Structure 1
Amino acid sequence: MKKFTVSAVFVVFLLTLLTVSSATGCTTMLISKGATEDGSVVVSHSDDNDLMDQRIIYVPAMDHEEGAVRSIYCSGAAMGEFPEYRCFLYPRMVTDDRGPAYMGEEPSIALGTIPQVPHTYAYFDGNYGIMNEHQLMFGECTDGAKITAKPEPGKRIFYSSELSRVALERCRTAREAIALMGSLIEEYGYYGTGETLPVADTEEGWIMEIAPSPEGTGGLWVAKRVPDGEMFVGANEFRIREVDRDDPDMMVGKELFPVAKKHGWWKPSDGPLDWLRTVSLGEYNHPYYSLRRVWRAFSLAAPSLGLSPWVEDGYTKAYPFSIKPDEKLSVRDVMAIHRDRYEGTEFDLTKGVAAGPFGYPDRFYGPYDGKGDVGDPKRKLDGAWERPISVTYCGYAFVNQARGWLPDPIGGIMWLGLDKPADTVFMPFFVGVESLPDSVANCDTSLFSRDSAWWAFNFVSNWAGLRYDAIHGDIVSRRKALESGFLEKLKEIEKEAMEINRKNPEELADFLTSFCDENAGRTVDGWWDFSEELIVKYDDGFINVGQMGTQAGYPMEWLKTTSWPEGPTEYGKR
């Protein structure tokens, strides 16, 4: 194979910018069991692109005949749509081999196949795999890389979406999953962008990072364990730095060192191989697009560290791979981090002229803004918005808990928040269910539907833009009551589930499914009712409590910044 020069690699990188979809990134966290209040391992992820398929799908466990193969499908989450493989943003996949929720009339075209195993596990699936019946769980964020490769049958058939699904189908532990995914990358090839995948089980958590290879086949990868008692945050930039092949807390792909050396990305005289510098251009899109979120999450969890929000460049080592929180974190603490928009900091998005009179924190991207997950960080931009953890274009977020002291069906919980974290409710779903509610498993973002849970939360979030300071306060009050109620109810449900598991284990799945269905149904129906309350309460710019037409107007501090003080208060020409 012809050897690439470094300059040629950068040409390939820049050319691919023209074809990469304008995905807008994700934030993901892993909190080890020694860093959580209850001793659970936690993995969270916000899927920050509401152009994608927002359905959360239950894929059932299955048995397969000897000699069967497993199809590998193209993913729109990698680089956008590939019609030649019937790969679209929605639906993400159409196939008969992943259970009824993925069936359809025009099946997706496989990039290739791998040998199937006799039995595959049940799991929750989104645009990436989420969590399986044995409490193995994933997070995800996209990263910029020097190489961005298209799928190619026979050479590059895997992206992280299908890698995570195969691992959830076949593995019980994080180490087992990483070893499997690494072998699949090296044998079948990796396409797409760079990726960070938190992978965790009931005992420990690892971070696996992947980049396409300039060789045209295979792929580059490395994994590092998160020390017990610490937390990790990833936000669209590789977070692993020095790679030590002798470190028992690291796993390293066999191609990394020889390929990096061959293509001039690293040489032994440089010292330890720096993964971030070797395979990427550092931070992408624009300065602080990634690093500000890492700073914020770490600062919320460990303010005692006194981390600075300002760094010298995108390759900074100011923010360590993982940190020890000042206090052990609860699942509600993790949700709160995902809901953050820099409130109370110098970057507070509820302040300033762009927030308008009512402190609206969301920013809408347009033609003048940086685009995509792999933007050249050196390009000139006329301006940029701060990129918070919670964004208006988030499709869904989850906080997964693996609790090893409980049986797997009861111990694993996916706390699912549809639409953006700041204005949603995180609903609990046990991994021991045998289906997910129709309202969760159905969503087409191009068609408004009251049968879709996603649309309930999306509608309320958008309605809040009318008078965000007041309506967001109503949302916070309502969601706090709901989420607190869930946590209290789970104590009762888990106690009952343990008794069922002891006496009649064959009835456990039905019990857990019924609870999750009914709980989600009440929540979603209640949120639709809430939306109608908000329509009336804030109709026509008033705050209608008790009677219609109560004038609220604008805050005086904002009025002073407008033409209001110079308005027509007297006759005569000025």
Structure 2
Amino acid sequence: MKKHVVFPAVVLLTLALSTPAFNCTTTLTGKDASADGSVMVSHTDDGLGDPRVVFVPAMDHPEGALRPVFYESAAMGYLPEWGGSQTHRLVTDGRGPGYRNPDEPASVPLGFIPQVSHTFAYIDANYGIMNEHQVSIGECTDKAKVHPLPEPGKRIFYSAELSRVALERSTTAREAIAVMGRLIDTYGYYGTGETLLVADPNEGWVFEMAGYDLNGTDGVWVAQRVPDNGFFVAANQFRIREIREGADDMIFSANIFDAARTNGWWRPEDGPLDWARVYGDGEFHHPYYSLRRVWRAQSLVASSLDLPAWVDGPFTRSYPFAVVPDQKLSVQDVMAVHRDNYEGTEFDLTTGLAAGPFDNPNRFEGGAEATMDKQGRMTTLNGAFERPLNIYRCAYVYVNQSRSWLPDPIGGVSWIGLDRPATSVLLPFYAGGLGLPRSLEVADVLRVDRGSMWTAFNYVANYAMLKYSYMIKDIRAERGRFEARGFGGRHEVEARALALWQSGDEQGARRLLTEDSAAHADELLAAWWQLADHLYITYNDGYINTKETIAQPVFYPAWWLEAVGYQNGPQSYEKPATK
């Protein structure tokens, strides 16, 4: 049970800091900043790991029952001694059929906490998404000064399991924060620093946490309320700054000052404790890995602020905690932020030599940021590509809406897209429904499964990189068709569900929403595999192929040919002069 404790700490720390697998972006839109008065939380889960979205049903538990707390590979990388697999985060019979997998090792608990008599239904993935009471969560990983290892009896919680327990037990955002804070204080925290956005139909909060002692038995945390007219974004760096005692919009752990003093990170005479600077360690990977996304997201929704793209360091004050959007935001507006590749800016990833001849915005990362010399030795390569909001290694994206004017099972809707945002399609699913389509709950990155929604979208997105500027038009057309129907048909479907609810047929309302979402998902899955076939045939061998004419040549643009040396190709039988 404890053999992972002796795993070299430096190795795990290096793994946590170097892997890009969990570096996400998350936003929160207050009710007075949204177009319809909903509170919205969005999240991209940016890593090739377990892309499944799973429904965890409501459950009753006997008196004296214990809830297992499982290890999270999102915290420190996959460790086989804790069960599961590299492709499936949890294997257990205790959280509904979505997590049952008899063909893989069962997940091994790090520890247990007392169970409550009743737990609420929720939509789950690598982190909790939304529960049947419209409590909504988003996430991003942050670089803290200390990343403790898990250890039974000392540190058993990471943000992922914290988010799940919060959704199982909370009917408001404040309740969820209180639950997670108590769990950190009582059972300890391990892994990276974390930001969780927590919302309900009335308000939204930023909840940030970290370890501070490699051998400690608790952690530190702080929560700050997002103004109702505000838009907040976090991108792998703590965003809360000064800790203000007695403030109505801030809650924090009792040890937050003492832990900072004990570690020599802060003294009262230095002034207010700056959470991001004291407990954080700047950006992951390279400068602007986080800050560029914060700049771009805030600039997209509030261009009137004319925020600077270049700043003086990782703890800049140039970007506010939250901004007031120039116009109130819809789900589509928030999703447009996540689909962005810096188009139209000096950082535009769809232009230049690195984008290739067909404007491909995807930039593969090198892990250790090293390359081979001619003798095969690893050599450090200085430099970096810009890190966009839309990134190729995204497992799923969602925009949650919590709506106060509807009953919870109807008001809480999660617009979910599989794989990277730019080529995904948002479909509505309800945590207050009766379940999710099987196509969302099955996925394995090591197996092609035509019954898996993620596989279909990942397949198309990867194929599109061969001739991106052409194929993305086909993808957007199909995406637009499905999203127009999804958004356009919501009012009618939800009105029917509300009528059933008000007549006393609550189960009928839940069933209607569940079946409607499933029908849309089934149609989308079939259409996306058809799209894959269409792209393969239409752009086969680099041509454009139609019923009218096959093998229509599509040559490279002149600027790219010149840049890659096309003009130096053989044009005579004479050997070119050596330069």
Shorter-chain TM-score: which interval? over 0.9
Local SS of the residue matching 1:386 = coil
Partner of 2:24: 26
Partner of 2:375: none
Partner of 1:436: 436
Partner of 2:487: 487
Q: Give the residue type in structure 2 aligned to 1:515.
A: D
Take 2:429 and 2:231, find their aligned partners in 1: how far apart are those partners?
23
Distance 1:237 1:14, change over 3 A: farther
Contact 2:292 2:387 in 1 (8 A): yes
Local SS of the residue matching 1:17 = helix
Distance 1:462 1:272, change over 3 A: same
Q: Give the residue type in structure 2 aligned to 1:506.
A: Q
Deviation per CA, 1:343-384, whole angstroms, max 9, x where unpaired? 11000111111111001110111255289xxxxxxxx96111
Partner of 1:520: 521
Q: 2:54 aligns with which of 45, 52, 57?
A: 57
Percent identity between matched residues is 51
1:71 maps to 2:68: yes
Distance 1:540 1:254, change over 3 A: same
Partner of 2:399: 399
Partner of 2:560: 558
Partner of 1:190: 189
Contact 2:494 2:513 in 1 (8 A): no
Distance 1:276 1:131, change over 3 A: same
Given the two structures, how large is their TM-score scaled by the length of structure 1? 0.94
Take 1:424 and 1:367, find their aligned partners in 2: how far apart are those partners?
25
Partner of 2:362: 362
Take 1:100 and 1:357, find their aligned partners in 2: how far apart are those partners?
46
1:80 maps to 2:77: yes
Task: Quote how far apart the aligned CAs of 1:427 are.
Answer: 1.1
Deviation per CA, 1:310-357, whole angstroms, max 9, x where unpaired? 011111111111100100011000111000110110001111111110
Take 2:289 and 2:142, find their aligned partners in 1: how far apart are those partners?
11
Local SS of the residue matching 1:277 = helix
Partner of 1:377: none
Local SS of the residue matching 2:14 = coil
Deviation per CA, 1:135-163, whole angstroms, max 9, x where unpaired? 00100000001111111001000000100
Take 2:193 and 2:322, find their aligned partners in 1: how far apart are those partners?
20
Distance 1:246 1:381, change over 3 A: farther
Moved more, 303-312 or 560-569: 560-569
Contact 2:84 2:106 in 1 (8 A): no
Moved more, 480-489 or 115-124: 480-489
Contact 1:16 1:148 in 2 (8 A): no
Task: Quote how far apart the aligned CAs of 1:81 are.
Answer: 1.4
1:541 maps to 2:542: yes
Q: Give the residue type in structure 2 aligned to 1:65.
A: P
Which ranges of structure 2 fall in alignment gaps of 5 or more residues?
Answer: 1-7, 372-379
Contact 2:13 2:76 in 1 (8 A): no
Take 1:537 and 1:466, find their aligned partners in 2: how far apart are those partners?
12
Local SS of the residue matching 1:166 = helix
Q: Give the residue type in structure 2 aligned to 1:18.
A: T
Task: Quote how far apart the aligned CAs of 1:432 are.
Answer: 2.2
Take 2:511 and 2:368, find their aligned partners in 1: how far apart are those partners?
52
Take 1:314 and 1:257, find their aligned partners in 2: how far apart are those partners?
22
Contact 1:370 1:384 in 2 (8 A): no
Partner of 2:45: 47
Contact 1:220 1:253 in 2 (8 A): yes
Partner of 2:377: none
Partner of 1:170: 169
Partner of 2:3: none
Alignment of 1:145-160 (within 5 A): 145-160=144-159
Partner of 1:506: 507
Q: Give the residue type in structure 2 aligned to 1:173.
A: T
Distance 1:470 1:323, change over 3 A: same
Take 1:247 and 1:445, find their aligned partners in 2: how far apart are those partners?
46
Task: Quote how far apart the aligned CAs of 1:204 are.
Answer: 0.3
Partner of 1:567: 569
Partner of 1:111: 110
Take 1:237 and 1:341, find their aligned partners in 2: how far apart are those partners?
20
Task: Quote how far apart the aligned CAs of 1:89 are.
Answer: 3.1
Alignment of 1:317-396 (within 5 A): 317-366=317-366, 369=369, 382-396=382-396
Partner of 1:376: none
Contact 1:368 1:382 in 2 (8 A): no
Take 2:210 and 2:257, find their aligned partners in 1: how far apart are those partners?
13
Alignment of 1:129-278 (within 5 A): 129-214=128-213, 216-278=216-278
Contact 1:243 1:274 in 2 (8 A): yes
Contact 2:20 2:367 in 1 (8 A): no
Distance 1:562 1:27, change over 3 A: same
Local SS of the residue matching 1:544 = coil
Contact 1:285 1:370 in 2 (8 A): no
Take 2:494 and 2:571, find their aligned partners in 1: how far apart are those partners?
66
CA RMSD of aligned residues (A): 1.6
Take 1:517 and 1:193, find their aligned partners in 2: how far apart are those partners?
36
Contact 1:283 1:315 in 2 (8 A): no
Task: Quote how far apart the aligned CAs of 1:18 are.
Answer: 3.1
Take 2:101 and 2:533, find their aligned partners in 1: how far apart are those partners?
34
- Tell me the matched-pair count: 554
Q: Give the residue type in structure 1 aligned to 2:480.
A: K
Moved more, 429-438 or 395-404: 429-438
Take 1:456 and 1:506, find their aligned partners in 2: how far apart are those partners?
32
Partner of 2:531: 530
Contact 2:145 2:212 in 1 (8 A): no
Take 1:464 and 1:257, find their aligned partners in 2: how far apart are those partners?
51
Take 1:85 and 1:532, find their aligned partners in 2: how far apart are those partners?
40
Contact 2:342 2:388 in 1 (8 A): yes
Take 1:97 and 1:482, find their aligned partners in 2: how far apart are those partners?
35
Contact 2:69 2:156 in 1 (8 A): yes
Which ranges of structure 1 fall in alignment gaps of 5 or more residues?
Answer: 1-11, 372-379
Q: Give the residue type in structure 1 aligned to 2:37.
A: G
Take 2:143 and 2:68, find their aligned partners in 1: how far apart are those partners?
27
Deviation per CA, 1:32-51, whole angstroms, max 9, x where unpaired? 1110101111000000001x
Task: Quote how far apart the aligned CAs of 1:88 are.
Answer: 3.6
